[in-house]
Amino acid sequence: MKLLFPRVYALDRSVGTLSIDPGHKVYGEKILRDSDGEYRLWDPHRSKLCGAIKKGLKNFPFDLGSKVLYLGASTGTTISHISDIVGPSGEIYAVEISPQCMRPLIALSERRNNIIPIHGDARQPQEYADVGKVDVIYQDVAQPDQDDLLIKNAHAFLKSGGVAMICIKSQSIDVTKPPNVVFDEVLSKLERVFKVLEKIKLEPFDKDHLFVVLQYPLRS
């Protein structure tokens, strides 16, 4: 077992997180146990963050106590692993617009107190203005204006020097253009606001997806 990032481990050929809720699975994941606790195996086919880790991600902004704004929370698969990483002292504000996804997300938050579910629209950050400043924004939103969503939320919530992660989905933006052209256009817009730290294509886990790590510039 090798420590990759805080509370994230290489377990043979798999990746796993040290669970803060031992004895309970979230999405049917496999469990490994040893004297240190319970490790939940992280499926890279169901989590783009895990896919990026498997593809060699170097910049990892999550740690014990991190405050995170997660846009596009869905049912909480990836959030559950971030919950393990940030621990009981961390906070994950999980924004999701779908009522169907909110039900399992709320159920998850009842077991994991560091998850705060928000039924809201990421295009309208004023709806959840009480979140305040965060260390990390993670965005997984399949919308054509996903770059604008990130910029708007970063201006509202991301600390100076904070890190944003975005999964750029070319087919959600423009199906008429080759993915690399879409990626370049989105990156050109993001580079006006952020410093690009890392870019990772997520094949074979997700087709036509680019995972990008960005830093919100330090203010003088």
Greater model confidence, 135 or 37: 135
Q: Quickly list DSSP for 153-168.
A: HHHHHEEEEEEEEEEE
pLDDT digits (tens, 9 = 90+) for 17-47: 999 999 999 999 999 998 889 999 999 999 9
Share of the chain above pLDDT 70, in %: 99
Which structural domains are found in the chain, ordered by start?
Answer: 44-215 (3.40.50.150)
Is residue 15's pLDDT more than 70? yes
- Is residue 220 very low, low, confident or very high in pLDDT (cuts 50, 70, 90)? very low
Tell me the pTM.
0.95
Is residue 171's pLDDT more than 60? yes
137 in Cβ contact with 125 (< 8 Å): no
Q: Where do we find the tokens 């393990």?
A: 84
The H or E element spanning position 112 is none
- Is residue 219 very low, low, confident or very high in pLDDT (cuts 50, 70, 90)? low
What separation in angstroms does the CA of 187 have from each of 161, 196, 204? 19, 8, 22
